[in-house]
Structures are given as structure tokens and as C-alpha cells.
Chain A
């Protein structure tokens, strides 16, 4: 599939991959390309927003949808937004709380404050939460999500599960007695449960268990709301207009992670358009001789320079080029390892490295200028 038709036919593109592979820049470049195709696009990123702001030529932007100024000739619109875990979490509580009192009790609960701040995976969960909001608002033709750099797994797919699991009714009933409303830990347990419970108390401290039980007690009524949201998000991922795109760089660790993602997505039955390999070093694939190709011109242009310059320079170019060639060959070999993992409908887009770093719209717009499509042989 061409990138153009990929951006034309989807409403949600989720970029996944390990850190440091240019995922944020790629997400921004996808957004810009889609805007050039006339679509109204939102690029959603997770902290640090600096990365996306950098590649859009901005200093910073916040957790509000911000329109990026584009050249007048571009028919579409490009918007960007950062996800703020804490405020998204708070917003979610506000939405699912039945009344003011419940809401305030949650906000004041110490366990909640810590969970929303440092819950493993809360960032990822909130990413999907915010994603659901903007996609279902139908304000955009296309939403591009830049996921947090997790190398281990598709955490953001699992975390909603974990949070919902936390609020699962069976667990709540295990912790909370039906007769009494709170501070009931352990009292009604028999046998194994009672022993285990006392031990949990001795590990975590009674006080914490009490606070946790209050937290769970208040959260009891929010469970359905959370579960519905989670299911809606999963449904969103399964839409035919949604697709995942694995982003990687042509180095060993990154290609290994990309392979892992391809398999994971396949295993979960999630749609995946293919792999974008960033920052490839393009070459003609042959050793070149600087002397025969450049010496004449170099001599002519170096008449006012130190006499050793030309020889030194040509020798250096030879070394530089051998290094480039070596790099390019090993990159081709490494990305080739991904071919067997792709199915016939998936594409590998090889994106040549640009000269210089990308931190303005103009450079961002050039990223896909020379993209090469590779299909499974």
C-alpha cells in the first residue's frame, strides 16, 4: 500500500516502536502528509511534548488541541496535542462520578493521588482514554497517535485491562464486605483468605489497606463506567479504519523490537499496515573512487587552499564512503530480517535519512519525499 492511500483510507493510525527511532517525528510527518492530502489531522503525543514541538518547529505546546500554522497552499489542517496523564485521569473521574461528593472523595484519597501519578501504565491507559475522546468527537478526519516508548509490550493495550481488573467487582467484593461499608478488611474472612489478608496487612501496613479499601469502596460504582470505556477503546482498535504502524530504525535492537511488535499485533488480531524504517543510509551500493570522480574538480576549486587539502580530503571521502556503504549494507541486511514477518498485505516503507535534523515544518515535509516501498518477496 502506498503511504498516500494508507493516510487516505484510515481514521486512526497508531505508531508503535521502541524509543529513539524517530517515532514522534514520523507521527508528525504522517500528520503533515495527510494535511497535504487535504485531511484534517490531529497528532497526539505523550510527554515529553518537546519532541513533537521540536519537529513542528515550535518551542512547546500544552494539553489543548493546537493548530499548527501551515503553508497556505496546503489544503488540510494539522493539529497537535500533548497528553497530560494527571488531568486526563481527573477528567475521567469527573465524567464517571455519579455526584460531586463521590468525585471530591476520590480526589482527596491519597491512594488515588498516587495511583494517578505513579500507577505503572497509567500514562498508557490515559493515552487510550484521550484517544477515545478525540476520535469519537469526529472533529478530525485522521488521528495519529504517538505511543509512549515502551519496548516490552503493547502496554497501552494492556493497561486499561489492568486498571479495569483492579476495579473488577470480584476483587472489590474480596476486599469489601457487603454488610459493612468500609474498614472491614479481614474481619469476615475465613481460612486461607484470612491468613493471606493478615499477611497483606503486615506487608503493606494496616493503614494503607484501610485507605485502599476506602478508595476501592468509592470506586465500586465507577467500575461499569471504566469497563465500558475500555471496551469502547478496544472496539475502536478493531475498526477497519484503524491501523497500527510499527516504526523502527535500522539497527539491531530496534529491528528486534519491531519484529516483536509485528508478532504481538498479529497475535492479538490487531490490524497493522506494516513497518516504517526510519533514517536509512541510502547508497548506490558500490565502492567509489574519489580520485577519479572528484580530483579534477577539487584541484580547480582548491587553488587558494592549503596544498595538502585536496589529497587529504579525497582520502577522507574514501573512508567516509566506505563507512557509509558498510552501514547501508548492514542496514539492508537487518531490515531484511523483517521481511518474513510481514504478510502479503503489509508494506515496509524505507525512509532515507535527511541531511541535518528535523526541527521545522519544511524538513518534516521532506521526510517521505524519497520513501521506498518494499513488499515481501
Chain B
């Protein structure tokens, strides 16, 4: 699937192994898609520490915060989502506040399997009515699988009532043609292993959920020639070099390794799961992240725009 086609879906979700930069990809997708004129909301799922706030370089709360002309961001936490849920389901504010104040009900909602998650997911899905696109920064792989399992579980566990109905609606949305999930990965062997594993798990848990794209962060395009590789190997075996020369060679080997790992990872992702891979170059690594974290998000959004342009150009040529 082309990135353009993915970006045109109304509900986008991102997950991946921890530390792969999925939050940043979610934020960058938001910026890139917002530029096409869509009104986009990027959300994070029930975080106590907002990572999305960092990616956008400003504090976020439950209510959508405007990032630029077309992009909003929010952290959908449980308590306010519960209030919204009850307001919609019960429609009598006196009773809603009664319920919210009752400590037993709090415990009940806290511990009933899936209740908390359904309430949060429900709020997220209902934002599709207010925005052209909703991008969800899901938790890391295993926890995301657990979360995506819940609508089905709750739908079967509660056989009647609003939770049953709503979880059915959420499930239909997840399985629908306007939804897609992207996995974020890094060009590292273990991360690719987990990506392949995660892809398989998602296929088991939600076979109808479309998972057409892997975003591969921090890629190094192979630019080193074979002769350079040979020279690097020969110099590295050279025993009489000083500490400084050794450090230069170490830097060279690290980059060579990254080029190799990038090529390997791209190859494995193509052959083992066969989805589209969207690579991001390494960004902001020369002397840290000048301009702050938002700058990196903007650079990544730029990479997404270039990719889409390239796709369009290729399409025309073909």
C-alpha cells in the first residue's frame, strides 16, 4: 500500500516495540496529513506521562489542544472519558455525578475487565465525528495487542447493555475499510524479530484489521562502496594504530553496521511480512536535537511529504 493511501484512512493507529519512536511517527503523520487540508487529531491512550506532549513540544490534556491550523492533539485519560461516556449514555447530570462520586462504582469500573479501555476507546472513536482523521498512538506492542483484543472480549463478556453495544461499534470501526494500523520499527535484528511477531499476533487477534505499513526509523542508506568496506576492514585489523585512529575507525564501523542492518531489516520486512516499508533517515544526530523535539517531528513530517511526492511522481511515470 502506498503511504498516500494509508494516510487517507480516517482512523490510523501506530504501535511497535518500546523505544522505536512510534509517538514521534504519530505526531509527524499528524503534521504531514494536516498540511493536506485535513483536520487531524492525534491522540495518546490513557497516559500518565504524555509522550505526545514531548513530540509536539507543548503540554497536552484531555481536551484537544491546537498544534497548528489543522492539527490537534490530546491525551485521552480515563476519568474525564468516563464522565463523557456517562453523560452520553445516561443523559441526566444529577445521576452522572452520583455515579462518579460513588466509591464502589469507581472500584467496579476500575476492576471490571475491559471497562476502562472501552470507555477510552469509545471517546477516541467518537472523535471521528469531529475530525477528518484521528491518529492513535497506541501503547507498545504487547500492550497494544491486549488493548485491541478488548472490544471483542467486552462484546462477548457483556451480552447486553451499552458496553456490549459500544464495544461492537468500536470493533466494527477497527475492522472497517477506513482504518489502518502501522507498525514502527528500527533497523535492528531484535526489533525486526518483534515486529514480525507482532504482525503475526495482530493477524490472530484482529484478522480484519488492516496492517499495511511498517515505518522504519533511523535508517542509514547504503552509500559505502565495497572498496571502502575492504579498506575499513583492513585498517581495523591493523595493529599499530593509536587510540584516536581506532576511535575514527570505530565510528566508521558503527555507520557501516547501521547501513548493513538497514539493508537487512528492509529485506527481512519485505520477505517475512511483505508490507510497505516507509524508511525515515537518521535525524538530528549531529550534536543532539537542535531546535528541540518539535523540530525533529517537523523533519519527520517532511520525510513523509517527500515520500508521498515521490510516490505520486513514480505513479505518473508508470
Q: A: which residues have CB within 8 A of B?
A: 18-21, 47-48, 50-51, 54, 110-111, 114-115, 117-120, 148-153, 162-163, 165-166, 168, 171, 174, 192-193, 195-196, 199-208, 212, 249, 251-254, 256-257, 260, 281, 283-284, 288, 290, 293-294, 297-298, 301-302, 305-306, 309-310, 312-313, 316-317, 320-324, 326-327, 329-330, 333, 355-357, 359
Contact = CB atoms under 8 A, between A and B. Distances in A.
A252 B51 CA distance: 11
A357 B190 contact: yes
Given A47-B142, A152-B47, A203-B163, A118 B188 contact: no
A51 B230 CA distance: 33
Contacts of A298: 231, 235
A151 B95 contact: no
A256 to B, nearest CB: 7
A338 to B, nearest CB: 16
A165 B111 contact: yes
B159 A205 contact: yes
20 contacts: A20-B191, A111-B113, A119-B111, A120-B116, A151-B18, A151-B51, A153-B48, A200-B108, A201-B161, A205-B163, A207-B160, A283-B247, A288-B244, A290-B248, A294-B249, A302-B234, A309-B227, A312-B228, A321-B247, A355-B257
Nearest to B104: A174
Contacts of B105: 196, 200
Interface in B49-102: 49, 51, 54, 89-90, 95, 98-99, 102
Nearest to B48: A152
Contacts of B95: 195, 199
Contact of B188 (A114, A321, A357): A357
B291 interface: no
Nearest to B157: A114
A252 B293 contact: yes
B194 A118 contact: no
B53 to A, nearest CB: 11
Interface stretch (B35-43, B125-133, B145-153): B145-153
Contacts of A48: 142, 194, 197
B271 interface: no
Contact of A204 (B112, B150, B193): B112
B49 A294 contact: no
B114 A118 contact: yes
Contact of A320 (B244, B255, B289): B255
B247 A199 contact: no
A168 B107 CA distance: 10
Contacts of A330: 287-289
B7 interface: no
A117 B107 contact: no
A314 B88 CA distance: 66
A257 B49 contact: yes
Nearest to B190: A54
A288 B248 contact: yes
A213 to B, nearest CB: 12
B90 A21 contact: no
B158 to A, nearest CB: 4
Nearest to B165: A205
Contacts of B153: 114, 117-118
B287 A329 contact: yes
A205 B161 contact: yes
Interface string B228-243: 1011101100100111
A54 B108 CA distance: 40
A254 B54 CA distance: 12
A144 B287 CA distance: 36
B48 A316 contact: no
A359 B189 contact: yes
A342 B107 CA distance: 36
B200 to A, nearest CB: 12
Interface in B198-234: 224-225, 227-228, 230-232, 234
Contacts of B173: none
Contacts of B51: 151, 253
A249 B19 contact: yes
Contact of B161 (A151, A204, A249, A321): A204
